Amino acid sequence: MRLVFLGPPGIGKGTQAERLAGRLSVPKISTGDIFRDAIAGKTPMGLKAKSYMDAGHLVPDSVVIGVVEERLSREDVQNGFILDGFPRTVPQAEALEGILSRKGLTLNNAVLFEAPEEEIVRRISGRLSCPNCQRVYHSEHNPAPGQTAEGEPLCACGARLVRRKDDLPETVAERLKVYRSQTAPLVNYYRAKELLVSVDAVGSIEEVTHDLESRLSPGKSYDHLKIKRGDR
């Protein structure tokens, strides 16, 4: 299955992508994680992306598209993939269509996660991220599995969890603004292609996964959900 996950920052795309990718045995490809790894590794791409990310702005299309094209050329995407946080602009969506069509492939769906802004802000303000393996936790809803002797939260991989730099309130406000102006137009883009599926992201992590899977599971009546069954 080839899916893209759309939705505002902090709504839970990454959390759901991780769970569904595990169940479908396909890779979760997060452009945000790729850039954070590149920043940690101080690569030229990381250095380029850092200033945009810290300001809550999008990394230029030319950089992101190249990164995704390279990632989609690897072996492990043969049975599908979940793209988390890409595309984020109409030119990125058009580029993705081109990359896939050159391989004779199409997307199965674009999944849109929806929730009120207050809930999004609550989720981001409690988020704890692992700088080592990129797992994500929440101080209340998804607590860290361990802690140091001083009570600092620890990831399952043993690394100390951190707050993301772009999760500061003023940067979150900018990211939401950027989402509304540059990414929200993708909703109509994918609706026009009859690929859009909406998921109610309010509720526990398990409830959202259940809603997501019920919309994607094979054997259901897809017509009323506007899901295209084009898996080739």
Q: Among all residues, which ones are annotated catalytic? A: 13, 88, 127, 164, 175
Task: Please identify, using beta-carbon distances, which residue of 141 and 160 lies nearer to ligand AP5.
Answer: 141
Please give the structure tokens belonging to residue 232. 């080739």
The CA distance from 222 to 60, in Å, is 36
Find the residue with minimal CB distance to ligand AP5.
32
Decide if 111 contacts 5 (C-beta within 8 A).
yes
Q: Do residues 195 and 3 make contact, with C-beta atoms less than 8 angstroms apart?
A: no
Return the number of the residue (12 or 108) whose C-beta is nearest ligand AP5. 12
Cβ–Cβ under 8 Å, residues 91 and 121 = no
Q: How far is the CB of 229 from ligand AP5 (least distance, A)?
A: 26
Report the alpha-carbon distance of residue 2 to residue 77 in Å, rounded.
Answer: 9
In the complex, least distance from residue 158 CB atom to ligand AP5, rounded to whole angstroms: 19
DSSP state of 180: I
Secondary structure of residue 151 in the 3-state scheme: coil
Q: Any idea which residue has 């390279």 for tokens? A: 70
Choose between 137 and 190: whose C-beta lies nearer to ligand AP5: 137
Query: Which residue's CB is nearer to ligand AP5, number 26 or number 58?
Result: 58
CA distance 142 to 128: 9
Q: Are 187 and 200 in contact (CB under 8 A)?
A: no
CB of 118 to ligand AP5, least distance (A): 13
73: tokens are 């050329």
The residues with which 4 forms a beta bridge, in sequence order, are 83, 110
> Considering the complex, what minimum distance in angstroms separates the CB of residue 228 from ligand AP5?
23
Rule CB under 6 A: which residues touch ligand AP5? 7, 9-15, 30-32, 35, 52-53, 56-59, 64, 85-86, 88, 92, 123-124, 126-127, 136-138, 141-142, 166, 175, 203-205, 208
Provide the minimum distance between the beta carbon of 77 and ligand AP5 in the complex, in angstroms, as a whole number: 17
